[in-house]
Amino acid sequence: MGMDSLIGGTIWDEYSQKVTELMNNPQNMGEITEEQAEAMGAKLIVADFGAESCGDAVRLYWAVDPKSDIILESKFKSFGCGTAIASSDTMAELCKGKTVDEAVKITNIDVEKAMRDTPDVPAVPPQKMHCSVMAYDVIKKAAAQYKGVDVDSFEEEIIVCECARVSLSTLKEVIRINDLTTIEQIVDYTKAGAFCKSCIRPGGHEAKDIYLVDLLEEYEKEKMAKAADASLSGNIAFADMTIVQKIKAVDKVIDDNIRAMLIMDGGNIEILDIKENGGYIDIYIRYLGACSGCASSSTGTLFAIENILREKLDQNIRVLPI
Catalytic center residues: 54, 131
Residues making up the chain, counted from first to last: 322
Q: Are 252 and 232 in contact (CB under 8 A)?
A: yes
The DSSP call for residue 241 is S
CB 71 within 8 A of CB 95: yes
User: Across the chain, where does the E strand assignment appear?
Assistant: 43-50, 57-64, 71-79, 159-161, 166-167, 267-277, 280-289, 317-321
5: CB partners within 8 A, 6+ apart: none
CA 153 to chain CA centroid, Å, is: 21
| Separation of alpha carbons 75 and 32, rounded Å | 7
Is residue 310 packed enough to be buried (19+ CB in 10 Å), middle (13-18) or exposed (0-12)? Answer: middle
